Amino acid sequence: MERIPVARDIMYGPSHLVHPDMDIYEAMALLHKRKSPAAPVVDAQYHVVGILTEKDCLRVLSSGAYDFCDVMFGGKVAEYMSEMTMTLTPEMDLFAVAASFLESNFTFLPVVEGDRLVGCVSRHGMLRAILNLEKRLSADKAHDRAVRELLDHPSSIGDMLTLVGSQSKRQLRAVLSKRHARGRGGATRGHT
């Protein structure tokens, strides 16, 4: 059975963090430079206190904040950030992480161990993890089909050696019994 990835397997390190007292334009420049749709907002102890999204940054222009004759208002990240109500733990499996994303509108979710930020999982990272899992499951299915075919119809000594190395004694007895029965004209005990 294929192991289901957990958040720890697909998270990336929190490379771009912002702090609540950081200037909003400095934080916007960081998002722009990193081509990131959001960044976790953390305090000095790396506790997640919020998230700053591109949408949050647009608020510098909202509610008449921009007067064509004056400069745009600024402020601190804490004035613009969104509250982070959902976090992940490192051992949450791919299905639980997906459910968390479906309950949230954020493009990434922070991974918290204890009460400290240890990484983030993005929607894009989730797509990659889902595709990788599907690829591994498909390869496993193809391998299982090949083994079943080999078990049902071993056609050479090489096939038999492969089976000896990969099957239990009980499975080998069943294969050899079928092969022996075919060699005698296809009849097996109790069957005509």
* Domain identity same for 141 and 119: no
* Domain identity same for 77 and 162: no
144-155: per-residue pLDDT in tens?
676 677 666 666
Domain carrying residue 161: 136-183
111-162: per-residue pLDDT in tens?
999 889 999 999 999 999 999 999 988 877 766 676 677 666 666 666 666 6
Count of domains for the chain:
2
Which residue, of 82, 99, 128, is where some domain finishes? 128
44-87: per-residue pLDDT in tens?
998 999 999 999 999 888 755 555 545 567 899 999 999 988 99
Query: Per the domain annotation, does 156 fall within a domain?
Result: yes
For 12, the token pair is: 């990336």
For 81, the token pair is: 């950030």
pLDDT value for 103: 95
* Domain identity same for 58 and 101: yes
Query: Per the domain annotation, does 161 fall within a domain?
Result: yes
Average pLDDT, the chain: 82
d(CA 154, CA 158): 9
* Domain identity same for 59 and 146: no
* Domain identity same for 113 and 25: yes
3-state class (DSSP) for residue 142: helix
**Counting beta carbons within 10 angstroms of the beta carbon of residue 72, is it exposed (0 to 12), middle (13 to 18) or buried (19 or more)?**
exposed
* Domain identity same for 36 and 121: yes
* Domain identity same for 95 and 174: no
DSSP string, 34-78: HT-SEEEEE-TT--EEEEEEHHHHGGGGSTT---TTSPPP--BGG
Query: The domain spanning residue 54 has which CATH number?
Result: 3.10.580.10
**Counting beta carbons within 10 angstroms of the beta carbon of residue 145, is it exposed (0 to 12), middle (13 to 18) or buried (19 or more)?**
exposed
Which residue, of 107, 128, 149, is where some domain finishes? 128
* Domain identity same for 124 and 140: no
